Amino acid sequence: MASLTYELTLAGLAVGGAAALTGIGLIVTHRATGVLNLAHGAVAMVCAYALRQLVVVWGWPLGPAALVTLLLLAPGLGLLLDRAVFRPLAR
């Protein structure tokens, strides 16, 4: 029973942490651009699918695939969305 309690506690902390990061991301995006970005979860989903593609389909090790996804793809996608969508909407 104690093992299940610890597992559920860790799972709850992980889900709560992800929800908190999503909320913080929404607030930071709104304050920085003035536009409420409800596609925040979609960007995370695209990065998750890209990570899965790199690791499962193409056979990359998890560490380098995570670094490529987090340091290249995610900022690049954010910059693309900022230039193509958010700045024109803010005007």
Q: What is the residue extent of each domain of the chain?
A: 2-90
pLDDT at 1 over 70: no
Mean pLDDT of 46-70: 96
pLDDT of residue 49: 96
- What integer is the mean pLDDT of 26-54? 87
pTM tops 0.75: no
What CA–CA distances, in Å, run from 15 to 8, 10, 20, 36? 10, 9, 9, 23
Cβ pair 30, 37 in contact under 8 A: yes
pLDDT of residue 39: 78
- The angle subtended at Cα 31 by Cα 28 and Cα 33, nearest 5°, is 100
Return the residue matching tokens 């998750």: 48
CA distances from residue 38 to 6, 15, 62 in whole angstroms, order as listed: 33, 19, 29
Give the three-class secondary structure for 68. Answer: helix
Across the range 25-45, mean pLDDT stands at 84
